[in-house]
Amino acid sequence: MLNHLNEKPINPARVVVLGARGFIGRALVAALQQAGIAVMPVSSADLDLTAEDGGDRLAAMLKPDDAVVLLSALTPDKGRGLQPFLSNIRMAASLCHALAKVTPSHVVYFSSDSVYPMRVGLISEETCAEPEDLYGMMHLAREMMIKSATKSPVSVLRTTLVYGAADTHNSYGPNRLRRMARKDGRIALFGQGEETRDHIPVDDVAGLTVLALRHRSAGTLNVATGCSVSYAELAKKVAALFDGPVEIVGAVRQSPITHRHFDVTNVRKAFPTFVFTPLEKGLAKAHCEMMEQG
């Protein structure tokens, strides 16, 4: 649950976005700029948080009235092994080093629903975080590192599966399904696509983050829509966006069926007037953007 230090929303003086060139980072920078909030986008090209001097260099960038958003991470498509784990921890350690020198007005950490075990079908913020792999453990460790490194209020945003045309990760979700349909006229599912998941458009993630920044919120929030669909349903919705026929094919299941739903009551409580983009609308927008990109 988030507690708002600003009951009425106030724009932060400046938001330093670490990982600004990533999929969510770009959307967040755009949303902040659209809201008239000063942004300092920082990418790995500007500042290598894994470098020895990463923390000092970051500290030199920060001002006490800044809000800092940490999105920088090696995502699972870069590997789920020990090296990405250590690199990601190293990035967070640099932020912690900087936070020891400068106390910003607010810190937002982008975590992941990978901190939750797959055996739990309905997730809320009260669900015990028990990561099942190093990637989830990394996020949980980074959450704890950051919270213990600063006196600033910290928002931990645990995002579920995020989609949008600009996503480069190609993990199993709307983006990959859309790309498969476009390239091959065919969507291949794991099993018969029985698993249910919650897919949130990147613009909604950015919108909720802007709200958390403006309210200077502290606490943990799962960033999910509360509406899960099966991959089979998702494939049908994606296929329907194409003019031509798209074949949807199943495969012999290699792993057990798992489901993930979110109880988003705390999102409703934190940001009652926020309206999620319906899945059909979000998919259609991502589809149009992809087609425009060529």
Partner 1 sequence: MSKPVIGFAGMTHLGINSAAAAAARGFETVCFDADAALIAQLKSGKLPVVEPGLPELLEQSKSRIAYTADVADLKRCGVVYIAADVPTDDRGQSDLSGIRALIDTVVTGLGGNAILVVLCQVPPGFTRSLALPKERLYYQVETLIFGRAVERAMHPERFIVGCVEPDKPLPQAAHTFLSAFGCPILPMRYESAELAKISINCCLVASVTVANTLAELCERIGADWSEIAPALKLDKRIGSHAYLAPGLGLAGGNLERDLATVCWLADAHGTDAGAVRAWMDDSSHRRAWPLRTLHGEVLAAHPKAVIGVLGLAYKENTHSTKNSPSLALIAQLKPWRIRVYDPVVPVSSAAHPDVTGCASAVEVAQGADALVIMTPWPVFRDLKADQLARAMAGRAVIDPFRILDGKTVASAGLDYFTLGVPPLRDKKR
Binding residues (CB under 8 A) for partner 1: these are 124, 126, 226, 263-265, 268-269, 272-273, 275-276
> Please, which residue, 126 or 243, has the CB nearer to partner 1?
126
Strand partners, 112: 159
Q: Tokens standing for 151?
A: 């006196």
Closer Cβ to partner 1, 63 or 281, answer by number = 281
Minimal distance, residue 85 CB to partner 1, in Å:
31
Q: Tell me how far, at minimum, the Cβ of 204 lies from partner 1, in Å.
A: 12
Q: Residue 149's closest CA among 110, 101, 111, 112?
A: 101
Burial of residue 264 (number of CB atoms within 10 Å: 0-12, 13-18, 19+) = buried
Q: Shortest distance, CB of residue 214 to partner 1, whole angstroms? A: 15
CB of 265 to partner 1, least distance (A): 4
Tell me how far CA of residue 292 lies from CA of 28, 127, 165, 166, 289, in angstroms: 21, 40, 10, 11, 5
Closest to partner 1 by CB, 245 or 272: 272
Q: What is the largest CA-CA distance in the chain?
A: 58
**CA angle, corner 259, sides to 254 and 260, nearest 5?**
135
Residue 30 or 227: which CB sits closer to partner 1?
Answer: 227
Q: How far is the CB of 165 from partner 1 (least distance, A)?
A: 24
Is 28 or 264 the residue whose CB approaches partner 1 more closely?
Answer: 264
